[in-house]
A and B are shown apart, each in its own frame.
Chain A
Amino acid sequence: MDLERVNSEQSALEAHLCTHCAQAIAPNEIIINQNQQAFCCHGCMSVHTLLLSNNLQDFYKYQESGINLRDRKATTKTNEKYAYMDSEAFIKEFTTLENGKLKIHFLLEGIHCMACVWLIERIPHLENFVTQASFNMGTNLASFTIDTGLEYSVSKLATTLDMLGYTPHPYDINSGKEGRLSNRKDILQIGVAASAMSNIMIYAISNYAGATKEYAQVFDAISLALCLPVILYSARPIYKSCISAFKLKTTSVDIPLAIAIVFGFILSTINFAKGTGPVYFDSITTLIFLILLSRYFVKMLTQKSMSTKGISSLFFNTGIKRIDEKGGAKQVYSSEIKLGDSIECSEDERIIFDCTLLSDSALILNTINTGESTPIVMHKGERIDAGAICIEDGIRLKVEEIGMKTKLGRNLAAIESNSISKNPATAWAQTISKFFTISILGLSAIVLIMGFIQGNITQAFESVLAILIVGCPCAFAIATPIVIATRINKLKSLGIFVKNEASLEELNNTQNIIFDKTGTLTKGNFEVISFKKFGDNNEASLLAIAYALESGVQHPIAFAIKKYAKDKLKGDTNVLAHDKAFIAGSGVGAIINNKKYFIGKTQNDKQQVGLYEEVGNNKELLALFRIEDSIREESKSLVNFLRNLAINIHLSTGDNSSKAIETAKELGIPDSQIHIEQNPHQKLELAKKLNNTTFIGDGDNDALAMVKANVSIAIGSRADIAMRSCDIYLANDDIALIAPLFRVARDVRKTLRRNITFAITYNIIGIGLALFHIITPLYAAILMPISSVTVLLSSLIPMLGLEKRILNLKEKN
């Protein structure tokens, strides 16, 4: 035997790690290239070869350990997949031309670490027509400049990106312009306020220190001038939300804030003109700066980039194979498709139009519309709704409805436009601040009217100003955003991303929690638990037959059987099946070696899959596979945890399976709270019907309910729409993180309540003193920051050891 070869194989096997993705390789899947490097798959090997041949091996230097490159979906047939990007309609819609340079932006999926950024910015090494590439980690947006002087092809660029493992979605840069400009405006407003504040301090402190008459006048004048841009420009968001609160006839913390700011400014200006009385230009500027800054932190930390905006374009802008008169298929851009066109769909492709089927039959997965996770067979002439996934090759369809007129389009539009109103929130802090706002405004009005009646207007004005400044709800306006921001940041480090900051408070009010079964409570991957053969066939040949039957079938159970067979056979699966026939909800039949075989459900036990040989009309059972989708270990402890919080647990699933009910029973969920065969609209109704619901799901078919529920949590990053329509998402597919999330929510509530108690006590005392003129506005202006500091400390001290409390002491709480 060739000793050298054995040795090299040995060393590769010992390493067990893929040279490219650094993941452990199953022994039978190892692939060795001519340099004796081991790979887990051909995809990894080809990317490695590509990088090496272009001197881009530095990629591995920047690669962080523990990053899984393998979950990048390397897609086959990519060459034609992006062909539509060369069409004129696409170029016109998605690129901009500047001085002979074409600019195109892609939203990239699958960015893991800095190595990815490095690689994307080295695209000009790979495609010479690309002159410049840059990537923004915050928005996942890559922009490429293409030299139109050279021969170029956008589809080639997209194919390269795809091959490297980054799925490109074309992005219309003009649609994102608004958000980017508003972000810049936020920064400018804060910058102007900061600049004014720091400059005003010089003069204000000089005055407090006792500057003499003329100097004091000059300093006040400078302060007024510096304060003006802050009042007129920086404070605009506060006025805006005050006005919109008036319009919507609700209250908001911004109402007393805006009044205090404007009123304080006017009074200070009058006092300045008169030459007597206190001026507050410094306090006003500082207040505005702190409020804007703390709000900006919250905005930055919440994942605004993952909003529901633009999800429909993610779905609808793609390449479609259109069938021309001669019967040939040609890839075109989806916007070129018209009603009545015939199209062809291939395996794993999402159908984006409402269609009728032209082929005799087709196997499709309609999870997004019906919630059912098993494929169904459609027959010629039947209607297929947009969103279904084709799981056979070469399916021909006639387009009946396009874009936003399709059912999927309408659902996406509803999600995008927020036209589904969320169940009303009942956050305690909001109620209190509402009450607080109203009482401060009422009190001010009374004092003012009293002043008019008594004829002592000046003193009444001074009292009102003191009330507004003392009562100015800084605890709400500054401390609340800081409490939320610090907690969100902590959650982020645990892999919990909060998109809607209000949901952290709202989570505490949860009375009902709805789990979507498929994948959330169970592991979602079926496994063959046992294999039993009957008769005297040998095991290997039976497994090879089973593998051949299931090959090409995109069903979780088929994957489980294929994996099991492949493992047992050590990859040696050389049996070919002919005349494959899919029988919906039952199984697959085919002819192998001139014998007819069938693999599928057994009659009495749904957890068993049988392999049969068909002889005439009889089926002879050859072997049984026992399949199980195991309950996640964490599910049980989570259910117990939630039950301790007195939350009702509901299960809602699209499947009609005894398995769902079994899962629920095993977890101890009562029958009345198990809802099976739920389509997306029924899920929505359920979320609407129950009070204070939290919806936990992971599929695209959950999106409508997610928008409706008080709080929605998406698990894992598999489903695009779910991730974009939720309030909170868990980046790791780890349901165990829900308990810490609830604990953080409790901590947020506790801290906010304490803050508010502090603030209210302080305010009541302060307002009382102000009413009886014991403290003047000057003392009020000094006391206010002291109260703010107290509240800040009270917000930040619980952060010490928070992580330990929420993760380690699981049993307490």
Chain B
Amino acid sequence: MEVIIVLVPIALLLGLGFLVIFIWATKSGQYDDLDTPSVRVLFEDSVNNNKKEEKL
């Protein structure tokens, strides 16, 4: 059971890591527009890709 002393911090760190990624994603505006990207992905245009997400 002592292994839990190693596992618990790993689990907590993993959880914290994902939370940090989530906060970063939100702050960089990835959740601002949930409708358009689902449509944009269907466009098959290779000539001019301006799909780069905009940071507002």
Contact = CB atoms under 8 A, between A and B. Distances in A.
Interface of A: 55, 58, 62, 114, 117-118, 121-122, 124-125, 132-139, 143, 173, 180, 183-184, 187-188, 191-192, 195, 198-199, 202, 215, 218, 222
Most buried by A among B8, B11, B29, B56: B56
A132 B55 CA distance: 13
Contact of B50 (A132, A184, A199, A202): A132
Interface in B29-46: 29, 31-36, 39-40, 42-43, 45
B23 to A, nearest CB: 6
B52 to A, nearest CB: 7
Chain A to chain B: the 10 pairs with minimum beta-carbon distance, closest first: A137-B35, A114-B39, A136-B33, A195-B19, A137-B36, A199-B15, A138-B35, A191-B22, A132-B50, A187-B31
A222 to B, nearest CB: 7
B12 interface: yes
B34 A138 contact: yes
A188 B26 contact: yes
A215 B4 contact: yes
A121 to B, nearest CB: 6
Contact of B22 (A117, A143, A195): A195
Contact of B54 (A58, A143, A202): A143
Given A118-B43, A222-B8, A191 B50 contact: no
20 contacts: A58-B43, A58-B45, A62-B42, A122-B45, A122-B48, A134-B50, A138-B34, A138-B35, A138-B36, A139-B33, A143-B56, A180-B32, A184-B29, A188-B27, A191-B19, A192-B19, A198-B15, A199-B12, A215-B4, A222-B8
Contacts of B35: 136-138
Nearest to B45: A58
Contact of A121 (B19, B26, B40): B40
Contact of A133 (B8, B43, B50): B50
A124 B33 contact: no
Given A137-B36, A187-B31, 14 more contacts: A58-B43, A58-B45, A125-B48, A133-B50, A136-B32, A136-B35, A137-B39, A184-B27, A184-B31, A187-B26, A188-B23, A198-B15, A218-B8, A222-B8
A191 B23 contact: yes
A137 B23 CA distance: 23
B32 A121 contact: no
Nearest to B15: A199
A345 to B, nearest CB: 36
Interface string B11-24: 11001001100110
A117 B39 contact: yes
A776 to B, nearest CB: 29
B44 to A, nearest CB: 8
Contact of A117 (B8, B31, B40, B47): B40
Contacts of B19: 191-192, 195
A135 B38 CA distance: 12
A222 B12 contact: yes
Contacts of A198: 15
A173 B56 contact: yes
Contacts of B47: 55
A577 B15 CA distance: 79
Contacts of A121: 40, 43, 50
Contact of A132 (B22, B33, B52): B52
Contact of B26 (A55, A135, A191): A191
B32 A135 contact: no
Nearest to B20: A195
B54 A134 contact: yes
Nearest to A212: B1
Nearest to A173: B56
Contacts of A173: 56
